Each structure stands twice: as C-alpha cells, then as structure tokens.
Amino acid sequence: MDRVRPGEASTPGPAAAAPSRPAAPAAGLTAGRRRLAQAGSVVLLLSAWEAASRSGALDPAFVPAPTAVARALAEVGPTALGLLGETLGKTLVAYVLSVGLGVGVGLVVGSARHLHDVVSPFLVAAYAIPKILVLPWILLALGLGLAPAVAYGTLQGFFPICLLVIGGVRDLDRTPLLVARSMGARPGQIYRKVILPAALPAVLAGMRLGLVFCLLGVLVVEMFGGIRGMGFLLASLATAFRAPALFAATALVSTLSVAGVVGLEALSRRLARWR
Amino acid sequence: MRSRRAVAWVWGGRAVLFVGLLLAWEGWAGGRDPLLYVSPSRVLPAAAQLLSAYPTLPEHLRLTTGEIVAAYGLSVAVGLGLGLALGLPRHVGEIYEPLLAALYAVPSVVWYPSLMLFFGLGPTSKVAFGFLLGVFPVVLAVLTGLRSVDRTLLTVARAYGAGPGASFVKVVLPAITGTLVAGLRSSLALTTVGVLVGEVLGARAGLGYLINYAYGLLRTADYAALALLALVLVVVVDGGAALLEARARRWTG
C-alpha cells in the first residue's frame, strides 16, 4: 500500500491502495509451502522471543514473554473488549461518513474535468498535510465526547478514499460514457449505471484503505484526548508501565484491524467475480 | 496539449478557490470566541511574534529536525538492508512480503504506546516511531524494484563474466533506482509525520510539544501559528525531496 506522495500532482490509481501482490514467479513456491514457511517463521520468532524473555536476555518488564502476554490478555480482556466496542462504534460512524463523502465527492470531481483540474491539487494537499496539526483544534472546538473522534476519523479517512475514487474514475474507458450519453441517459443514470460500476475496484480499494485510516484517527483522538476507548487504554497501560497488558491490548486491536481489511478484501474479490 | 488559455483558467480557478477558502474561514471564525476560533488575520501577526513569544523555538525546531534526520537515516539504512535481504534470494520475499503487507493493515499508531514504554517521553520514542513509519516504503520499494529487474539482462551479464557485485551495480541498481527514489521520498514524508505525531502525543520538547503547550494554555493563535510553521517544515522537507527525486530521474533517464 503506497501513500499518495505529498505534492504529487496526479492522483493515485487503484493499484496504489492494495498491498502490491508479488507476481508469482514461474518457479515459485506452492501456496501450501508458502503458508507453512510463514507459519513456521512466526512460531520460530515467538519461541525465540519466549526463550529470550525467560532467560533474561530481554528484560521481561519491557518485553514480556508471549505466554505472559497471553495471560495478561485473559486479565485485561473484559475491559479491553468493552472499550474496543466504543472505539469500533466511533470508527464505524467515521467510516460510513468517509466512504459516503469520499465516494460521492470522488465520483463528481473525477468525472467533471474542469472541476477536477481546479479542485484536485487542494485535495492532494489536504491529504498530504499531517492531520495531527489540526487535532488540538478539533478537541477545542468539539469537546471530549464522540464528536472529535468521529470528526478526526472522518478527516483521516475521507481524503485517501476520495483520491482513489477520483483516480479510478479518471482512468475509465470513455466509450461507454459516450454511448450512454448519446442514447440520452440522464446524469443520474450515467453515474449509477456507467461510472459507479466501472469505478468499483477503486471504490473497494478506497474502502480497504479508509478503514485503517479511520481506525487510526479514532485511536489517535482517544490517546491524545484521554477519551474512553481503546486508544486511551493503550496510552494508560503504557503510562502505568504494564507491558504484558499493553502488548495484549495492542495485539487485540491489530488482529481486529487485519481481520477487517482481510474481510473487505474477500468481499471485493467476491464482488469482482460477480461483476 | 491544452491551450494557454485553458491553463490560465485552471490557475485562475485555483486562486479564486484558495482566496475563497481563506475568506470563508475568516468570516466563520471572525465573530466567534477567540479562545476557540482563530481567523487567518490573527494567525499571521501571531506568526510574526512567534520568536519573541517563544525564545526557545529554534532549539525545539532543531530537536524536531534532528529527530527527523535520525529516523530517516535509520529508515533508509534498515529499509535498504531488509529489502535487499528479502528480495535478492529467491523465495524469501515471496514468504515474507505478505506478512509485511499484513502489518500495513494495522493502524500504525497502535505501536506508539509500546514505544513510549520502551523509550520514554524523550526524543528516542519519536525517532523510533518515525523509523517505524518510514522503513516500510523503503522495503516495499526495494522489493517492487527488484521484481522488475529483467532476468535476461542478469543472465547476459553473468555470461559475460560479471561477478555478483558488477551485475548488482550495472544491472540491478539502474533498474530499481526509479522505484527506489519514489519510495525514499514517501518514506521521508511518513518519517516527518511520525515524528510530529509522536511529539504531539507526548513529549518534553520539540515543535509538536510546543504546539501542545500553546494549545494547553489556550493560546489558540500561537497554536495556529506553530501549526503553520510545522506545515512549512513539512512542505520544505517534501519540496527538497521532490527536487532530489527529479534529479535522480534525470540521471537514470
């Protein structure tokens, strides 16, 4: 997954969002062997970590052994799940807003050439600006409740989705558009029947990328503002120096995020086949 | 090619939009609580007085720049090493690249509390977070570049008696430079973001710390001016990287 580079005039194509898949070389490994090697490496890494932590090569106060982290998970789990629910609720609202606005604006800006030429540098710049600079102001203006997390999550998610959709629409084949227009299709019909289906891969790529960005935004607000939720839990476990619980909570959020993205990937593969 | 007139229209439209946005901001923030809302007309005077209001500003700025330089140096060194180690031997990249890609599906900020626990509130945790964000684009750029190397050229080079070193310099390096330079540039942008995020989330010094400090005291105009300064830093860093990228592209042709 590439980020759009700041200052770059062009918008990212759909390929920019998906983690680049290795084009399997002719003499590549079989999928089974690859999985085995991956699982083996992870198990090896965890065992080495466990051994290093137990023997005292790694200070368990800083890097607790995986078994200690697993025990801590059972302990911190109930609290963490409740807070995770709050975080996910906020993320969901921000995500729906980001996808709705990002896809809507992306379709309109991508399909109107003059509008695109004028507006897109602003969108690229807004994407590239570190959003963290406006975070304090968002908390000032919106207080400490649900609103700042949703606003900042949406701010994080909107621009990458919008830019990907714009890129997808710009790369469309023009012929079906011309045909539909010459057959007298109304603009609403053109968007629904021609542009949206053709831009679907870009929309789906944006949805995968946007999910991570929205979750990131919500977590940052919770960490910074000390607002209830998973970000706050992570920050306070770090301050309280509870490494095993912190690692367990970190693993929980990470796993969930990867699961979300993998789920969306499966969904988009299914949609691609259906199309 | 578009006509000059069309280009002029586009730039005119952009200028109108820019001024319009500033005016809208001015009008929206102008009549409201000055503690919460800062209009552009108040940001510029605050920016002009920044140095007298915060005499230690140059030191904070130097610290932040130093953190960015250190994090970027680490990202590039480790990224190149890791990328080559994963990409040059057969099969190794095939196994580990999906694992790296899965890490990308995790919002990076979840690692930051752990880094705070390891390294404390000082500059090290910022360097570590900047590195963590910056290293991935380098690794992935090396892997993508290596995949694009023409195997035939390698075979030919070997047939003409080029050793591993010579084929690396003559065949591999020119082939991956384009991708690599783009990766190095996005790595720099992400490193900068990482350092700033780290400083805002908790630090004792640096530009992000000052931003937080001004915000905490409700010196909102100062906060906005400092944020503007950080933005200038980001733009300067990326502008420099863009120039270098253009030069590298010309060099490789």
HEC sequence for chain A = CCCCCCCCCCCCCHHHCCCCCCCCCCCCCCHHHHHHHHHHHHHHHHHHHHHHHHHCCCCCCCCCCHHHHHHHHHHHHHHHHHHHHHHHHHHHHHHHHHHHHHHHHHHHHHHCHHHHHHHHHHHHHHHHCCHHHCHHHHHHHHCCCHHHHHHHHHHHHHHHHHHHHHHHHHCCCCHHHHHHHHCCCCHHHHHHHHHHHHCHHHHHHHHHHHHHHHHHHHHHHHHHHCCCCHHHHHHHHHHCCCHHHHHHHHHHHHHHHHHHHHHHHHHHHHHHHHC
Residue B25, classified by CB atoms within 10 Å of its CB into exposed (0-12), middle (13-18) or buried (19+), is: middle
Distance, CA of A267 to chain centre: 15
Confidence (pLDDT) at B99: 83
Q: Please indicate, yes or no, if residue B232 is contained in any of the structural domains.
A: yes
With a CB cutoff of 8 Å and minimum separation 6, the contacts of B66 are B123
Query: CA of B196: how far to CAs of A126, A214, A234, B55, in Å?
Result: 16, 19, 19, 20
Query: Which CATH number belongs to the domain containing residue B51 in this structure?
Result: 1.10.3720.10
* Cβ contact B110–A118 (<8 Å): no
Name the amino acid, one letter, at B169: V
Q: Please indicate, yes or no, if residue B18 is contained in any of the structural domains.
A: yes
Distance, CA of A50 to chain centre: 31
Top residue of A1, A3, A4, A5 to mutate, by most chain B CBs within 10 Å, is A5
Tell me: do B75 and B131 sit in the same domain: yes
Confidence (pLDDT) at A9: 34
Tell me: do B24 and B51 sit in the same domain: no
Number of domains composing chain B: 2
Distance, CA of B39 to chain centre: 28
Number of C-beta neighbours around residue A139 at 10 A: 20
Structural domain containing residue A126: 66-274
Query: Which CATH number belongs to the domain containing residue A266 in this structure?
Result: 1.10.3720.10
Give the span between the Cα atoms of A45 and A64, in whole angstroms: 14
Give the span between the Cα atoms of B27 and B41, in whole angstroms: 10
Give the span between the Cα atoms of A74 and B81, in whole angstroms: 38
Tokens at A190, concatenated: 């053109």
Top residue of A20, A34, A35, A132 to mutate, by most chain B CBs within 10 Å, is A132
* Residue (of B247, B70, B146, B242) closest to A5 by Cα position: B242
Residue A43, classified by CB atoms within 10 Å of its CB into exposed (0-12), middle (13-18) or buried (19+), is: exposed
Q: Please indicate, yes or no, if residue A141 is contained in any of the structural domains.
A: yes
Q: Please indicate, yes or no, if residue A55 is contained in any of the structural domains.
A: no
Tell me: do B65 and B190 sit in the same domain: yes
Name the stretches of chain B with pLDDT < 70: 1-2, 252-253
* Contact A17/B at CB under 8 A: no
Owner of token pair 């780290």:
B198
ipTM value, please give it: 0.86
Tokens at A66, concatenated: 């995986």
Q: Please indicate, yes or no, if residue A36 is contained in any of the structural domains.
A: no
* Whether the model pTM is above 0.90: no
* Cβ contact A29–B94 (<8 Å): yes
* Contact B220/A at CB under 8 A: yes
Number of domains composing chain A: 1
Tell me: do B9 and B77 sit in the same domain: no
Structural domain containing residue B147: 47-252
Residue window 117-146, chain B: list those with CB within 8 Å of chain A: 117-118, 137, 140, 143-144
- Report the residue from A136, A213, A258 with minimal CB separation from B215: A136
Cβ neighbours of B193 in A, within 8 Å: 130, 132
10-residue stretch averages of pLDDT, chain A, 275 residues long: 36 38 54 86 88 80 83 86 91 95 91 86 88 89 87 94 90 78 79 79 88 94 87 90 90 91 87 71
Tell me: do B62 and B174 sit in the same domain: yes
Confidence (pLDDT) at B1: 53
Q: Please indicate, yes or no, if residue A252 is contained in any of the structural domains.
A: yes
Cβ neighbours of A212 in B, within 8 Å: 104-107
* Cβ contact B200–A129 (<8 Å): no
Tell me: do B74 and B165 sit in the same domain: yes
Q: Please indicate, yes or no, if residue A40 is contained in any of the structural domains.
A: no
Confidence (pLDDT) at A28: 63
Tell me: do B27 and B77 sit in the same domain: no
